[in-house]
Amino acid sequence: MDDNQKKNIDFYDQKYQFLDSEVNGILKRLNKLDVFLADATATDTSWVGLYHDDFQNKIVGKKVLELGCGDCANAAIMAALGAEVYANDISSKSGEIIAKVNELYKFTHPIVFIEGDFLTADFKEKDFDFVVGKAFLHHLTHDIERKFFNKICELLAPTGESRFFEPAVNSRILDEIRWHIPVPGRPSKFSKEAFKIWKANDPHPERDNSSKHFKRLGAKYFQDVQIISLGTLERFHRLLPASYNQRSFRKKAFVWERKLPSSLNRIFARSQVIIYKNAKH
Ligand SMILES: C[S@@+](CC[C@H](N)C(=O)[O-])C[C@H]1O[C@@H](n2cnc3c(N)ncnc32)[C@H](O)[C@@H]1O
């Protein structure tokens, strides 16, 4: 196991340590599934992204593998929607969350947690309709990412699809500006010492998160690669005063930005949905 993987385990074991609070958060969403999904898939970037193009209905009755399931909210939502869900995370805390949610919510197919390293895990099922990840790939080094893709292709059914929601870094200038604006839990690059300390524990390796990278990577393994940019206008919600209804702005911004030229969206996007189909096998 490399240093980056160890950092991820330490970081996420700590982040997901409050089992009851994670599980209660999931159950709240499951108990109001339609209301939650209608709002989140129109407003919250990672849900807007992963659920792009009717994903919600596409997964019903399908076999789905989620990589980096983390707090397991998405794994649980997919299972409640009627998918047969397998979920993997390098943090064993995710397994504890899933065990508890399986106990408290009656899924048609309880979620199966795949413990530990995905690359060495032995899968009996090699016919997944979907292999997905939400804010996951950018936690892998390029070397590990390639190994993941070899295995993803082995596990996908011939008609299967792989889709990922990831940050998009397509402009160096914008990226530098972003690092210099502090956000809760991460100091500005201007505060050199504090930034250095933060960086030492950060579970994100130095790597390429551009749309070009994901296009090139996908083209090695799949015949069809589609990348949808997200957040060109939505990202400005951070600049709005706290009194302003930011959720309402975000929802509208996601609709408005679809009317912008794709070349503009590519540069200014904050995030991206990456859809790979027709594995070359
Ligand atoms: C940013 S979190 C995203 C969690 C969740 N998908 C979500 O949307 O909230 C990234 C997740 O990837 C997991 N992760 C990082 N490296 C991994 C690896 N090599 N294998 C499996 N999971 C990994 C982390 O433990 C963490 O739960």
What average pLDDT does this structure show over 238-247?
Answer: 83
Q: State both tokens at 87.
A: 């979920």
> In angstroms, what is the span from residue 163 Cα to ligand 1's centroid?
15
pLDDT of 33? 97
For 41-83, write each residue's pLDDT tens digit. Answer: 999 999 999 999 999 999 999 999 999 999 999 999 999 999 9
pLDDT at 240: 85
* 189 closest CA partner among 197, 203, 181: 181
Write down the pLDDT at residue 146.
97
Q: How far is the CA of 242 from the centre of ligand 1 (A)?
A: 30
Question: Under a CB-based contact definition with an 8 Å cutoff, are residues 166 and 138 in contact?
Answer: yes
Task: State the Cα–Cα distance between residues 102 and 97, nearest whole angstrom.
Answer: 9
pLDDT at 135 over 80: yes
CA 192 to centroid of ligand 1, rounded, Å: 27
Q: Where does ligand 1 bind, in terms of residues with CB under 6 Å?
A: 5, 8, 12, 46, 67-71, 74, 88-91, 118, 134-136, 139-140
Domains of the chain: 3-167+205-232+271-279 (3.40.50.150)
Mean pLDDT of 208-233: 97
Distance between Cα 110 and ligand 1 center (Å): 21
Whole-number pLDDT of residue 125:
85
Sole residue written with tokens 């997944």: 128
Residue to mutate, 48, 85, 139, ligand 1, most ligand atoms under 8 Å from C-beta: 139
Tell me how far apart the alpha carbons of residues 108 and 84 are, in angstroms, rounded to a whole number: 8
pLDDT of residue 178: 85
pLDDT of 175 strictly over 90: no
Distance from the alpha carbon of residue 137 to the mean position of ligand 1, in angstroms: 8
Ligand 1, atom 11: closest residue by C-alpha = 68
User: The pTM is what?
Assistant: 0.94
CB atoms under 10 Å from CB of 255, counted, come to 11
Question: What pLDDT score was predicted for residue 71?
Answer: 97
| Tens of pLDDT, residues 103-114 | 999 999 999 999
How far lies 272's CA from each of 41, 128, 203, 212, in Å?
14, 23, 20, 11
Look-up: residue for tokens 């609070």? 21
